[in-house]
Amino acid sequence: MTLVGADGERAAFGTTVASAGDLDGDGFDDVAVGAPQANDFAGHAYLYRGGATGIRAAPFLTLRGTDVAGAYYGGALAAGRDLDGDGADEIAIGAERAASFSGYVELISVGAGAPTARVISGPDGASGRFGFVLASRASRRAPRPQRIN
């Protein structure tokens, strides 16, 4: 399957791709795709549902962050089973160029209801580029590494 962004080729759709965990609670892992150059570099992130036969072709949610030109929202993505300890799967989306390059990270939780977002601002002020790189902890479901003799 090929996923195609709706923002045109200059949007840099697919710059970032991450497994999003089971955001919608249907038992299948979902996928997030960033397009950080969409809408004059404001950036977008698209969430695609997983299913028994694979990823669905159309996104179930388009995220735009603050939608401010130059923010580069979606330039970094990270997912885990539960990033903030509330029991629900989330995805973290970086916007490293927002607010004079101080940046922010948005934690998105979807669940069964409307999506919720929690914004975490960069601690370093202008030019800190918070959200430039994101990583998530290993899944609780991941197998333990085996020792090789």
More confident: 149 or 123: 123
Write the burial class of residue 139 (CB in 10 Å: 0-12 exposed, 13-18 middle, 19+ buried). Answer: middle
pLDDT tens column, 85-97:
777 788 899 999 8
Q: What pTM value is reported for the model?
A: 0.83
Residue 146 CB-half CA count within 13 A? 3
Give the separation between CA 80 and CA 3, rounded to whole angstroms. 22
Give the separation between CA 144 and CA 127, rounded to whole angstroms. 39
pLDDT tens column, 58-69:
999 999 988 889
Name the pLDDT band for 138 (thresholds 50, 70, 90).
low
Q: What pLDDT score was predicted for residue 80?
A: 64
Name the pLDDT band for 144 (thresholds 50, 70, 90).
very low
Spatial neighbors of 70 by CB under 8 A, at least 6 apart, are 40, 41, 42, 97, 98
Q: Are 45 and 39 in contact (CB under 8 A)?
A: no
Q: Assess whether pLDDT exceeds 90 at residue 123.
A: no
Q: Are 93 and 43 in contact (CB under 8 A)?
A: no
Per-domain residue ranges of the chain: 10-121
Write the burial class of residue 95 (CB in 10 Å: 0-12 exposed, 13-18 middle, 19+ buried). Answer: buried
pLDDT tens column, 1-59:
788 888 877 899 999 999 888 888 888 989 999 999 999 999 999 999 999 999 999 99
Q: What pLDDT score was predicted for residue 4?
A: 80
